Chains A and B, each alone.
Chain A
Amino acid sequence: MEVVVATVIAVIAVVALAYSFGMGRGLVNQYEVARIALAAAQHRMETLATAGLGSPDLALGPGFTTATYGPMDVLLDGSVACRESWEVEPIHDAANTTNPGSTDLKEVTVTVSWGRGGPNETVALTRLFPVR
């Protein structure tokens, strides 16, 4: 009886230890993709920042509506690492009391996702750009 109890406890301990190692390794791999995705989001944001305010990649939709670009694949050394898209949204500056409701700024949100694109598999960067 004692031998059986000891064996069961030992097996549970070993399995739990192996599971914790596997979890740790899985998290390391997940955060590697998250870091790649964050770097890709920074890449896109910097590219948009240098594209010029009149760039078609920063254009609002018809009638100053929100425009969405992508999704498109992000390649890293020739293979697809994640997917990126960005949204350009019109923003009214509350400090502008002369023209209430005018579009003073564009809020650009770059979203990069990987895996199934769930909440834990997405990073997003947001930045304000002048309209002109």
Chain B
Amino acid sequence: MERRAAQGLTLIEVTIVMVLSTLVVMGMISFYISSQSTWMAGSTQALAQRDATLLIETISDRVRQATLAQPFNSPDALHQGVILRDHTMTETWRFWWSAADSLVHQGPGLNDDLGPVVASRVTRFQVDTLTRLVEIRLVELRAGGGQLVRMSSAAALYNRGGQAP
């Protein structure tokens, strides 16, 4: 035993150990990288989902206070906006997709931009109106990891001058 210890390791033994340890380290690094990307993708997707809900709820809250809604292309049918008016037909609020930053902005008017509703990029924003209903036909957000989050909903125009909705 003492004689073998005194002989040290052969080149083949050292090589085998190095190859094995390299494989183990490479496996650990690839596992770390894939875990991190999974974590990031999940986190950004969850944030985009939260933003989609927040966007729909913000629009719904404003729509419920309005009397009339007018959708418009901003600038095309896949990227729209909606103008909300009160019973005197005065514009009270509007939401619109901005080509400058791919975000949905809000404000009392086009020249009075209060900034984006949520921070996530919006790839599609489509709105439609029925007599007493505003349909948010599609809100499509792109998460930081590239995944798309889609949602749709509707809100009623309850402020119709005392009329039942």
Chain A interface residues toward B at CB < 8 A: 14, 17-18, 21, 24-25, 28, 31-32, 35-36, 39-40, 42-43, 46-47, 49-50, 53, 76-77
11 of the cross-chain contacts (CB-CB < 8 Å) are A24-B39, A32-B149, A36-B152, A39-B152, A40-B153, A43-B135, A46-B154, A47-B133, A50-B156, A50-B165, A77-B150
CB distance from B84 to the nearest CB of A (A): 15
Inter-chain contact A46/B52, CB cutoff 8 Å: no
- Other-chain residue from A24, A43, A77 in contact with B153 (beta carbon distance below 8 A): A43
Q: Which residue of chain B has the shortest Cβ distance to A34 in the bound complex?
A: B49
| Contact call A36/B42, Cβ cutoff below 8 A | no
Q: Which of A17, A18, A24, A32 has the most CB of B within 10 A?
A: A32
Query: Do B35 and A21 touch across chains, with their CB atoms under 8 A apart?
Result: yes
Cα–Cα, bound, A29→B127 (Å): 25
Which residues does chain A contribute within 8 Å of B165, judged by CB atoms? 49-50
Task: Tell me the bound Cα distance from A43 to B139 in angstroms.
Answer: 14
B133 with A50: CB separation less than 8 A: yes
Which residues of B35-65 have CB atoms within 8 Å of chain A's CB atoms? 35, 38-39, 41-42, 45-46, 49, 52-53, 56, 60
Name the distance in Å between A46's Cβ and chain B's nearest Cβ: 5
Which secondary structure characterizes the binding site on chain B? mixed
Task: Tell me if A46 and B53 are in contact (CB < 8 A).
Answer: no
In the complex, which range does the number of interface residues on chain B fall in? 20 to 34
Q: Which 9 A-B pairs have the closest CB atoms?
A: A39-B153, A50-B132, A43-B154, A46-B156, A46-B154, A28-B42, A43-B153, A50-B156, A25-B42
- A36–B157 CA distance with the chains assembled, in angstroms: 22
Give a binary string over B150-164; 1 marks a CB under 8 Å from any A CB, 0 the rest. Answer: 111111110000001
**What residue of chain B has the Cβ atom nearest to residue A24's Cβ?**
B42
Query: A18-B35, A28-B46, A77-B138 given as contacts; is B150 within 8 A of A46 (CB)?
Result: no
